[in-house]
Amino acid sequence: MSGQAGGANDSAGRHAQRTTAQRTVLLVAILASFVAFLDGAIVNVALPAITADLGGGIALQQWVIDAYLLTLGALILVAGAISDAFGRVRILRVGLLVFGAASLGCALAPAGALLIAARAVQGAGAAMLVPSSLALITATFTGPARAKAIGTWTGWTGTAFVAGPLLGGLLVDSVSWRLIFGINIVPIAATLLLLLRLKISAPAARRVRVDLAGAVLAAAGLGGPVFALIEQQRLGWHSPAVSVPFGAGLLCFGTFLWWEHRTPNPMMPLRLFRIRNFGIGNLATAFIYAGLSLGQLVVVLFLQEVAGLSASEAGLATIPVAVLSLLLAGGFGGLAGKHGPRFFMAAGPLVTGTGYLLMLSAHLPFNFWTQVLPGLMLFGLGLSITVAPLTAAILGSVRPEQSGIGSAINNAVSRVAGLIAVAFAGVIVNGALDVGGFHRVLVVTVLLFAVGAVISAVGISNRSISPDRIPDEAAANCRDRASAGGTDRGPDR
């Protein structure tokens, strides 16, 4: 009897130890992802204060966003392979250290060029955080416990999109824009301390081929055109400093597509785009998230630089969008699971675009309650209708074992779309934001959403998806976006 009691006590002890380790893993995953999500949600409201301090105008504002998105978009597709090759905890720790050091560099940057460089490094660190966090959860939890853990991760990290803009505005108004980067050090330090408590054995040695050539070609292929689009405002298209990077970038991007077609271990398997809903869904993603990134950036800048709101007021203005998305996206995901995603993917962008059409009434003297808030509310509703059905259509069209790379590709497409849209912002406003420039951006944004709606209505098939087989971690990976659009929750199941 005493032996049985001792065995039971040992079993209970091991269970308690395992439960404690799982709680620590979940907390580490939440904190590591939260800091990346918070950074994406907090930066826009600080852009006017940054340029008031460092100069550089709209070009610097574009670079502060795009330097981050460039390295993040280029590296996020290889992050999973790097994590598999070198170990999840190790890559998560490296990502935290890189992100923390870059955040400190952003906070202390004495000039715009150094801030841009630090933001590029920050994007590289962020590329390691979310995939490694989710991989750590899936390696630690199984069955219903895994779904519950991912749901908890999703819920807590989603608060970053609600709190980020308001927190950023308060920090900018009460202290300095530099603190929006410096504040990252606190959750990063806490996460690194928690990682020391994890006793996770190193993975067995694996030969994982990392497509570094593809990542370099993608970065160069995106970086050249983005550099040209931003710097042509200052140098003009006739300058070799603009035309040469533009041409070289296009050449590199073409080479990237060729390389991905021939390499045996591509970071972006092009064969997936032959699947109807995957290819069409990612094409719709490109237009929808281009509109999302362009519209949200310029609305926040307009509210401060033209309408005269403070950073706190501008941050507060964006909260209804994030709250609506958090509250409604899951419900629309459930409806899309029952009725198919095509209607929602077509109707959602049209509702969103209508919200931006309403904002065309904005003028001076400015009234936020009548000129902008109704449009923002409609925008939040349209976003809620769109994001979860979009995830269901794309991930439900591929086999479950392909859903990891499928979600990573869709995440990268949304990042790259935002990257290019932000680079075009200066061209659209003609170098300086005023009421006329704001209206031009709104029209372009509406057109982008309309194209996304037409693509979805014509191309998406309700018959070729199986939302019930989408792994929770793949749907969660589509959550990490560049803006409040990151409230992508996947279908309710």
DSSP state of 99: H
Average pLDDT over residues 143-164: 79
* pLDDT cut 70: percent of the chain above it: 88
Residue 473: what pLDDT?
Answer: 65
Q: Please, what is the Cα angle at 225 between 356 and 414, to 5 degrees?
A: 45
Q: Is the pLDDT of residue 484 over 80?
A: no
Grouping H, G, I as helix, E, B as strand and the rest as coil, residue 478 is coil
Q: Which residue, among 207, 294, 218, 281, has the nearest Cα to 253 in the 3D structure? A: 218
Q: Which residue, among 324, 305, 440, has the nearest Cα to 374 in the 3D structure? A: 324
Q: What is the CATH number of domain 1-209?
A: 1.20.1250.20
Residue 486: what pLDDT?
Answer: 39
Q: What is the C-alpha to C-alpha distance for residues 4 and 24, in angstroms, rounded to an integer?
A: 30
**Helix 185-197 crosses helix 88-108 at what angle (to 10 degrees)?**
160
Burial class (CB in 10 A: 0-12, 13-18, 19+), 110: exposed
Contacts of 371 by beta carbon, 8 Å cutoff, 6+ apart: 359, 361, 362, 363
Lowest mean pLDDT among 217-221, 238-242, 262-266, 363-367: 262-266
Tell me the pLDDT of the chain averaged across its residues: 86
Residue 487: what pLDDT?
Answer: 39
Lowest mean pLDDT among 61-75, 143-157, 272-286: 143-157
Q: Is the pLDDT of residue 9 over 60?
A: no
Which residue is associated with the tokens 């250290």? 97
Q: What is the C-alpha to C-alpha distance for residues 285 and 356, in angstroms, rounded to an integer?
A: 18
The topology under which CATH files domain 271-493 is Growth Hormone; Chain: A; (1.20.1250)
DSSP state of 400: G
Note the pLDDT tens digit of each residue in 393-412: 888 888 877 777 888 888 88
Burial class (CB in 10 A: 0-12, 13-18, 19+), 258: exposed
Q: How many CA atoms lie within 13 A of 254 on its CB side?
A: 6
Q: What is the C-alpha to C-alpha distance for residues 398 and 251, in angstroms, rounded to an integer?
A: 30
Q: How confident is the model at residue 36 (pLDDT cuts 50, 70, 90)?
A: confident
Radius of gyration of the chain (CA): 22
- The more confident residue out of 491 and 219 is 219
How many beta carbons lie within 10 A of that of residue 271, not counting itself? Answer: 11
DSSP H or E stretch at residue 341: none
**Count of helices and strands (H, E) across the chain:** 18, 0
Alpha helices in 207-341 (DSSP H): 212-235, 240-262, 276-305, 311-339
Note the pLDDT tens digit of each residue in 419-467: 999 999 989 998 789 999 999 999 999 999 999 999 999 999 887 656 5
Q: Please, what is the Cα angle at 174 between 168 and 176, to 5 degrees?
A: 65
Kindly report the length of the chain.
Answer: 493
Contacts of 71 by beta carbon, 8 Å cutoff, 6+ apart: 120, 121, 123, 124, 127, 219
DSSP state of 270: G
Q: Please, what is the Cα angle at 251 between 248 and 254, to 5 degrees?
A: 150
Burial class (CB in 10 A: 0-12, 13-18, 19+), 248: middle
Q: What is the C-alpha to C-alpha distance for residues 254 and 249, in angstroms, rounded to an integer?
A: 9
Q: Is the pLDDT of residue 135 over 50?
A: yes
Which residue is associated with the tokens 């990257």? 419
Average pLDDT over residues 136-150: 81
Q: Answer for the pair 382, 348: CB distance below 8 angstroms, yes or no.
A: yes
Intervals of CATH 1.20.1250.20 along the chain: 1-209, 271-493
Average pLDDT over residues 97-111: 96
